[in-house]
């Protein structure tokens, strides 16, 4: 049987690799660091791989990565995810639409629901998205407090309507629209 691939990067000892593994939050990187520490201590490749939840070929691939890039090469890589459906300009227009609120005569609704905004996005931008995507976009911009009942109502409020930020003017083009719970001049609650 041929000898396994050697660990050529000897910047760290097995003890240092274990110490670094104890400080990491990425569980995958921790397993890889511990497997490499075991190899440096002389444990067989098969045993080191099995004890760290991988097979020998996978461990060999990580040894190659470690030799080339060091500890940083052992980090778990995650894909960037799906590309955004709406462009930044379209998202800004959607957020402005939500802030402005619906026109009852033109939009035929008195308040926005996620399903209404979904239809409006499809009408304006010719893009089909799910109503949950609309809700996620609004939540990520801290613009909506979604009421998840049968109506799927969108309330344009900060995350919590009684938080201290509700008395402040939020940074938008028309700030007087955003003065929420304006306190009484005599200090009584609104």
DSSP state of 159: S
pLDDT value, residue 189? 54
Pick from 91, 171, 168: nearest CA to 134:
91
pLDDT value, residue 145? 61
> Is the predicted pLDDT of residue 81 greater than 60, yes or no?
yes
Of the candidate ranges 8-17, 77-86, 124-133, the one whose mean pLDDT is the lowest: 77-86
The pair of three-digit structure tokens given for residue 56, joined into one six-digit string: 């020998």
Token pair 């009584």 is at which residue? 188
Q: Where are the domains of the chain?
A: 14-74, 88-156
pLDDT value, residue 138? 85
> Is the predicted pLDDT of residue 16 greater than 60, yes or no?
yes
- From residue 94, alpha-carbon distances to 38, 128, 136 in Å are 54, 14, 13
In percent, the amount of the chain with pLDDT more than 90 equals 46
- From residue 46, alpha-carbon distances to 1, 4, 37, 148, 153 in Å are 13, 10, 14, 51, 56
> Is the predicted pLDDT of residue 168 greater than 80, yes or no?
no
Q: How confident is the model at residue 110 (pLDDT cuts 50, 70, 90)?
A: confident
Average pLDDT over residues 102-130: 90
pLDDT value, residue 53? 94
pLDDT value, residue 167? 46
pLDDT value, residue 187? 55
Distance separating alpha carbons of residues 150 and 147, to the nearest angstrom: 9
Distance separating alpha carbons of residues 5 and 9, to the nearest angstrom: 12
pLDDT value, residue 77? 87
CB 55: neighbour CB atoms within 10 A?
11
> Is the predicted pLDDT of residue 166 greater than 50, yes or no?
no
Mean of pLDDT over the chain: 81
Average pLDDT over residues 104-121: 89
Q: What is the pTM of this model?
A: 0.49
């Amino acid at each position: 049987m041929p000898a396994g691939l050697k660990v050529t990067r000897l910047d760290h000892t097995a003890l240092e690799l274990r110490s670094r593994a104890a400080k990491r939050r990425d569980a995958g990187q921790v397993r890889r660091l511990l497997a490499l520490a075991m190899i440096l201590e002389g444990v067989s490749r098969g045993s080191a791989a099995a004890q760290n939840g991988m097979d020998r070929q996978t461990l060999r691939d990580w040894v190659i990565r470690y030799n080339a890039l060091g500890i940083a090469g052992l980090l778990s890589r995650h894909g960037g995810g799906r590309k955004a459906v709406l462009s930044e300009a379209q998202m800004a227009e959607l957020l402005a639409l939500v802030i402005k609120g619906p026109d009852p005569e033109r939009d035929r609704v008195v308040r926005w629901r996620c399903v209404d905004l979904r239809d409006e996005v499809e009408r304006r931008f010719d893009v089909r998205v799910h109503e949950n995507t609309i809700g996620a976009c609004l939540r990520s911009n801290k613009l909506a407090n979604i009421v998840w009942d049968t109506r799927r109502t969108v309330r344009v409020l900060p995350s919590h309507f009684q938080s201290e930020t509700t008395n402040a003017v939020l940074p938008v083009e028309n700030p007087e629209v955003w003065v929420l719970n304006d306190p009484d001049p005599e200090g009584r609650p609104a």
